[in-house]
């Protein structure tokens, strides 16, 4: 039966729509998520699907938008019943097919991105437009330590605060035009979020950041660490969209070596052939650098699996419910490749967060195995 009541904090990610999943497979997943489980938040991006390429860029938006329009036409949903979120790519020399790089995240690029996304989606507005990553150097996608020598500004003579002001102003213009309902950030730092909140208070005509999308899981707890975003989100009233709550499948345990095999060689040879880290091996650099299948990660996953079994649940359940235990997490994004996976994750999410004793035990495991996939 539907689990609508419990899943208001769950969203469905679409970054595999058009590569791992065909359009028909994606549509079945969307139907199952919304019509059966009541999931109403759907996240995409102009660069999706992944692994990214010029041939597939934008297909995830096209598939999602076609599904929304078709279901509205059939009377299966109303536009106001779903939240469609997409993202503007930041500077990236590896994607020249997106605005030539993009070279920077400026007003013209943000507006062009939004308008192109709306065309692909076939919608007159998006409910949330996020800046996918900052237009400045920050440690992300596997980096942990800040290196001031790597600082850059994409526009000579401009400070990071100047760049943020231009971006927030562009987002506000899109809101005023009715093309965007809310604005957000992604892969941001505590400084970036705090500065954006300050600019929204200090400067007329700039957007307020309503949500920030960050990686958050048992294996990636930068959100919770001292100096992280959790305090900022509390103080500024910003809701977190937690992506990769299963650390790209590592926290299902499916990549662990079989019983009796040691972890010394890591587990890069294990797991189902169609599992993402195997299927796209050598073609998805962010996944392979950020989610290393090495001894450190293996031992952390095994420790959390032991804790889960001790508490009478699967590793997957422990992982999903841990993310939903955070009071600043408004939405946990699920990534699924079939309906069976979706049903399992929605079942666990419907059970809500973990109790205090479980969270304290998780903190002890974290102290011994701190964030191997930052």
Closest CA to 183 of 224, 234, 125: 125
Whole-angstrom CA distances from 194 to 145, 159, 181, 197, 323 are 20, 16, 21, 5, 23
Q: d(Cα 108, Cα 102) in Å, to the nearest integer?
A: 11
Which helix (H) or strand (E) covers residue 2, if one does?
A: none
Q: Which of 48, 243, 255, 304 is catalytic?
A: 48
User: Is 48 a residue of the active site?
Assistant: yes
Q: In 3-state terms, what secondary structure has residue 220?
A: strand
Alpha helices in 254-338 (DSSP H): 276-279, 285-290, 295-310, 315-324
- Contact 109/102 with Cβ under 8 angstroms? yes
Phi, psi at residue 17, to the nearest 5°?
Answer: -70, 110
Closest CA to 35 of 306, 257, 342, 325: 342
Residue 86 CB-half CA count within 13 A: 32
- Contact 276/252 with Cβ under 8 angstroms? no
Instruction: Provide the annotated active-site residues.
Output: 48
């Amino acid at each position: 039966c539907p689990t609508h009541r419990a899943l208001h904090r769950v969203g469905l990610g679409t970054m595999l729509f058009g590569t791992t999943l065909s359009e028909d497979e994606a549509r079945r997943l969307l139907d199952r998520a919304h019509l059966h489980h009541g999931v109403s938040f759907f996240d995409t991006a102009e660069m999706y699907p992944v692994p990214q390429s010029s041939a597939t860029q934008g297909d995830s938006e096209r598939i999602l938008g076609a599904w929304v329009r078709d279901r509205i036409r059939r009377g299966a949903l109303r536009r106001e019943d779903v939240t469609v979120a997409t993202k503007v790519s930041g500077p990236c020399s590896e994607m020249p097919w997106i605005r030539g790089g993009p070279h920077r995240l400026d007003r013209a690029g943000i507006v062009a991105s939004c308008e192109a996304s709306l065309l692909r989606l076939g919608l007159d507005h998006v409910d949330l437009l996020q800046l996918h990553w900052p237009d400045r150097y920050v440690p992300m996608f596997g980096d942990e330590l800040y290196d001031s020598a790597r600082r850059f500004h994409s526009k000579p003579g401009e400070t990071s605060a100047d760049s943020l002001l231009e971006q927030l102003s562009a987002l506000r213009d899109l809101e005023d035009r009715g093309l965007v309902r809310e604005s957000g950030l992604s892969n941001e730092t505590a400084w970036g979020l705090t500065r954006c909140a300050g600019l929204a208070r200090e400067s007329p005509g700039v957007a307020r950041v309503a949500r920030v999308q960050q990686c958050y899981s048992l294996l990636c707890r930068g959100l919770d660490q001292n100096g992280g975003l959790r305090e900022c989100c509390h103080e500024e009233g910003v809701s977190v969209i937690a992506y990769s709550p299963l650390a790209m499948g590592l926290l299902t345990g499916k990549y662990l070596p079989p019983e009796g095999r040691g972890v010394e060689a890591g587990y890069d040879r294990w797991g189902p052939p169609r599992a993402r880290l195997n299927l796209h091996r050598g073609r998805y650099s962010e996944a392979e650098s950020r989610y290393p299948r090495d001894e450190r990660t293996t031992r952390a996953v095994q420790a959390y699996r032991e804790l889960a079994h001790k508490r009478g649940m699967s590793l997957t359940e422990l992982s999903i419910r841990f993310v939903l235990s955070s009071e600043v997490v408004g939405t946990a994004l699920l990534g699924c490749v079939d309906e069976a996976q979706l049903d399992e994750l929605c079942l666990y999410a419907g059970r809500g967060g973990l109790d205090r004793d479980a969270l304290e035990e998780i903190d002890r495991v974290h102290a011994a195995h701190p964030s191997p996939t930052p």
